């Protein structure tokens, strides 16, 4: 069967892309290698309510697991500070239900969906799958980080996330643990699904993520694990070209996840929407420049923020535990109050700058990063 567009991967970006294409009257097929949309749940599932609205999704009671009121950030020596996040209106969503909700939107607009269908090969305008061959005008690659492994392995970190029941998980409070020796280049996190129930995860460079997470859990105390998920994450920013001939790359596969946290429901979702609209314009006009609008529009929205986050990531990669503790020592109540007053969860470089804005933090960061830090401050000032 022929389609205008075949989308490989029923990710958030893939489903939103298909929704936009289908509702403009074009034929679109989504092929997903897993047997169920929304599984496995690779990410923590945090996103602001305003971002959900921008993506055109109103979460229902099944989709919305929890709402976040605060975040406690820990240093290697155990120092911490708490940020009030109520103004940011951050939700924890159930990815199984959330992805299915978007799939229903796409299907209602006319998209076809096939699960347990893997892409074997792409030859010109033909996509060969385990469930048959399809001809199309545009192929959308939304297959996630697996599409990036051959590009740059240095941009990939290994992560482990366990769904856990434990009395020490507080409903409404996210916890983040920095330790350059235990979790080099990244951190450990606790995201509450409810009281005594949450997602606990670790990502880092050159470690066994599962082993590191098990050590963390043992240290935290009594718990039991009901699910284990292991997945690579991408932290090196967007790829150079989102469009190559008749192949359009979106979401994780396009490197649209945040370099600081690897979160990407919003930035990848917007990528899918912008790609779907650009593809629809191209199908009508046959003008290649319409496809190029996708990357241009995504960069206009996220480019400066992602450049700032990449510089912040360079700093994080070079900090040792002594430097991290020095930064924590410099965090004042005024800085915490300023960050808590921010209403932006999805664009968070300003929060990083406020943490580095204290005098002792600047000294630490300048010693380690020098010119890159000056670029980071300059980028934020221009935003």
Digit-coded pLDDT (tens) for 222-234: 999 999 999 999 9
pLDDT-derived band at 378, boundaries 50, 70, 90: low
The confidence score (pLDDT) of residue 357 equals 54
pLDDT-derived band at 183, boundaries 50, 70, 90: very high
Structure-model confidence comparison of residues 375 and 2, the more confident one: 2
Structure-model confidence comparison of residues 122 and 146, the more confident one: 122
Residue 343 has pLDDT above 80, yes or no: no
Q: Please give the mean pLDDT across all residues of the chain.
A: 89
Structural domain spans, the chain: 2-41+94-151+236-286, 59-93+154-235, 306-382
The confidence score (pLDDT) of residue 363 equals 55
pLDDT-derived band at 368, boundaries 50, 70, 90: very low
CATH class belonging to 2-41+94-151+236-286: alpha beta
* Nearest CA-CA partner of 230 in 142, 162, 146: 162
Phi first, then psi, for residue 91 (nearest 5°) are: -110, 150
CATH class belonging to 59-93+154-235: alpha beta
> What digits encode the pLDDT tens for the residues 14-30?
999 999 999 999 999 99
Q: Is the peptide bond before 80 cis (omega within 30 degrees of 0)?
A: no
In Å, how far are 61, 90, 194, 264 from 67, measured between CA atoms?
A: 12, 6, 9, 18
Helix (H, G, I), strand (E, B) or coil at 357: coil
Share of the chain above pLDDT 70, in %: 90
What's the rounded Cα separation, in Å, for the pair 234 and 246? Answer: 24
The confidence score (pLDDT) of residue 335 equals 82
The confidence score (pLDDT) of residue 326 equals 86
Token pair, residue 103, equals 């799939």
User: What average pLDDT score do residues 133-150 get?
Assistant: 92
Residue 289 has pLDDT above 50, yes or no: yes
Sign of CA dihedral 169, 173, 179, 183: positive
Contacts (Cβ under 8 Å, ≥6 apart) of 270: 54, 55, 298, 301, 302
The confidence score (pLDDT) of residue 346 equals 64
In Å, how far are 108, 218, 364 from 101, measured between CA atoms?
A: 11, 36, 46
Contacts (Cβ under 8 Å, ≥6 apart) of 24: 277, 280
What's the rounded Cα separation, in Å, for the pair 38 and 15? Answer: 11
Straight-line distance from the first to the last Cα atom of the chain, in angstroms, rounded to the nearest whole number: 47
3-state secondary structure 148-217: CCCCCHHHEEEEEEEEEECCCCCCCEEEEECCCCCCCCCCEEEEEEECCEEEEEEEECCCCHHHHHHHHH
The confidence score (pLDDT) of residue 337 equals 87
pTM over 0.95: no
Instruction: Return the minimum-mean-pLDDT range out of 18-22, 100-104, 223-227, 362-366.
Output: 362-366
User: What average pLDDT score do residues 128-151 get?
Assistant: 92
> What digits encode the pLDDT tens for the residues 207-222?
999 999 999 999 999 9
In Å, how far are 16, 172, 213, 226, 260 from 166, measured between CA atoms?
A: 35, 14, 15, 11, 27
pLDDT-derived band at 91, boundaries 50, 70, 90: very high
Residue 180 near residue 157, CB atoms below 8 Å: no
Residue 143 has pLDDT above 70, yes or no: yes
């Amino acid at each position: 069967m022929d389609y205008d567009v075949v989308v490989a991967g029923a990710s958030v970006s893939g489903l939103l892309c298909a929704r936009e294409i289908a509702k403009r009257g074009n034929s679109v097929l989504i092929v997903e290698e897993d047997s169920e949309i929304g599984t496995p749940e690779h990410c923590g599932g945090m996103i602001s309510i305003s971002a959900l609205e921008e993506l055109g999704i109103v979460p229902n009671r099944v989709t919305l697991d929890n709402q976040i009121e605060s975040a406690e950030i820990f240093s290697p020596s155990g120092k911490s500070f708490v940020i009030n996040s109520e103004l940011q209106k951050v939700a924890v969503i159930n990815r199984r239900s959330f992805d299915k909700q978007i799939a229903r939107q796409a299907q209602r607009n006319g998209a076809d969906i096939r699960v347990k269908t893997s892409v074997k090969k792409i030859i010109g305008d033909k996509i060969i799958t385990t469930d048959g061959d399809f001809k199309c005008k545009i192929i959308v690659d939304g297959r996630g980080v697996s599409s990036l492994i051959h590009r740059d392995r240095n941009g990939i970190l290994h992560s482990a996330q366990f769904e856990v029941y434990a009395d020490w998980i507080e409903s409404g409070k996210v916890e983040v643990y920095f330790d350059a020796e235990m979790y080099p280049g990244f951190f450990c996190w606790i995201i509450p699904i409810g009281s005594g129930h949450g997602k606990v995860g670790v990502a880092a460079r050159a470690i066994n993520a599962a082993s590191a997470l098990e050590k963390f859990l043992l240290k935290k105390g009594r718990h039991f694990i009901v699910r284990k998920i292991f997945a690579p994450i991408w932290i090196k920013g967007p790829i150079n070209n989102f469009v190559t001939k008749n192949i359009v790359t979106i979401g994780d596969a396009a490197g649209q996840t945040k370099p600081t946290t690897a979160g990407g429901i919003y930035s990848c979702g917007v990528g899918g929407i912008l790609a779907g609209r650009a593809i629809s314009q191209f199908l009508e006009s046959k003008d290649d420049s319409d496809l190029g609008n996708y990357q241009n529009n995504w960069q206009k929205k996220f480019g400066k923020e992602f450049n700032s986050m990449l510089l912040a990531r360079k700093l994080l990669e070079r900090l040792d535990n002594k430097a991290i503790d020095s930064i924590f020592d410099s965090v004042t109540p005024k800085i915490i109050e300023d960050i808590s007053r921010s209403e932006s969860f999805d664009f968070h470089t300003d929060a990083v700058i406020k943490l580095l804005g204290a005098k002792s933090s600047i000294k630490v960061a300048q010693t380690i990063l020098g010119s890159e830090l000056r670029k980071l401050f300059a980028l934020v000032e221009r935003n």
